[in-house]
Amino acid sequence: MSFSDQADGITETPSDDRIRIDTPEQISLDLPLAGIGSRFMAIAVDTLIQILLYIAATFAMVGLAKYGPSLPSWASALPGSWLPALMILFVFCIYWGYFAFFEIIWKGQTPGKRLAKIRVIKNSGRGINVYEAIGRNLLRVIDWLPGLYIVGIITMMISRQNQRLGDHLVGSIVVHEKRTEEFRPDWTSLTENSPSDPQLSSLTSDELVLIETYLQRRETLEFGFRDATAQKIAARITNKTGVERPADQSLDDFLQSVARKVRDSARLRR
């Protein structure tokens, strides 16, 4: 049994903890939601890294305090007046900035999430931006209350999409990553005996690799970039061979058909 959220273009399947996103490009994307277990594994790893950073900072500050008098004259005031302020600033940056920093530069992942093979995305399917990465982590301190992320766990348990408070704030979800191998072109969806097209014989092996690489990696691309990439590849094929995409055929089906015909003909130019 499934139900759909028309406002977000989402179809959920609670029984298997997956989410189906209908993108603006009319592509249906089925993704497995990250549950409490995988997210707790990620937060445990990230918390351990934060603790190690705190310990390293403490040793550094102790060293500064101990050897402060031997520092150059311009830094002689550092241990006495600036050391506590620097320590507070560092702790603040690590606690508040660690998650947002990595989710920005790693496109929705932290070291813990990367190890757990999960990623933060918008519930529309696109990646989160800088403001959303910062916004979802501002409420992390509330999710932690009264300790061990109790509020966050309860919020996730009552959420249909396993969202904590920060996710609700910016409209994000956490999903499991899929391996590239899971996105190989589905040749079986095409006609078994695709008629060959002599015009396609002008395509080179490099161009076939380009088409098949896109087909293998398309689900890992952001949807706007994915559509633009498919458009460019299709235009390149049409300009070189004169073969045009039928009006009732999608870009992906067109590229699959071209690759299948070229493979079947086994005539590639170098």
36-67 vs 83-105: helix axis angle to the nearest 10?
150
Cβ(22)–Cβ(28) under 8 Å?
yes
Distances from the Cα of 75 to the Cαs of 56, 69, 99, in angstroms? 21, 9, 32
In angstroms, rounded to a whole number, what is the distance separating the alpha carbons of residues 28 and 126? 13
172 sits in which H/E element: strand 172-176
Cβ proximity of 215 and 230 under 8 Å: no
Mean pLDDT of all residues in 219-238: 83
> DSSP letter at 127?
B
- Compute CA 58 distance to the chain's CA centroid, rounded to the nearest angstrom: 33
- DSSP string for 19-46: EEEE-TTS-EEEEEBP-HHHHHHHHHHH
Q: At 55, which helix (H) or strand (E)?
A: helix 36-67
> pLDDT by residue (tens digit) across 34-46?
999 999 999 999 9
Residue whose pair of structure tokens reads 């150059």 in the numeric block? 72
pLDDT in tens, 112-151: 999 999 999 988 777 899 999 999 999 999 998 988 889 9
Higher pLDDT: 215 or 119? It is 119
Please give the model's pTM, rounded to 2 decimal places. 0.62
Query: Does the bond joining 146 to the residue before it have cis omega, within 30 degrees of 0?
Result: yes
Per-domain boundaries in the chain: 36-176, 181-265
DSSP 83-125: HHHHHHHHHHHHHHHHHHHHHHHTTS--HHHHHHTEEEEETTS
Higher pLDDT, 180 or 62: 62
Q: Any long-range contacts for 179-188 (C-beta under 8 Å, 24+ apart)?
A: 180/216, 180/217, 180/220, 182/219, 183/215, 183/216, 183/217, 183/218, 183/219, 183/220, 184/215, 184/216, 185/212, 185/215, 185/216, 185/256, 185/259, 186/256, 187/256, 187/260
Give tens-digit pLDDT for 160-208: 899 999 999 999 999 988 654 444 444 444 444 444 567 777 888 778 8
Helix (H/G/I), strand (E/B), else coil: 10: strand
- Kind of pairing between the strands at 3-5 and 10-13: antiparallel
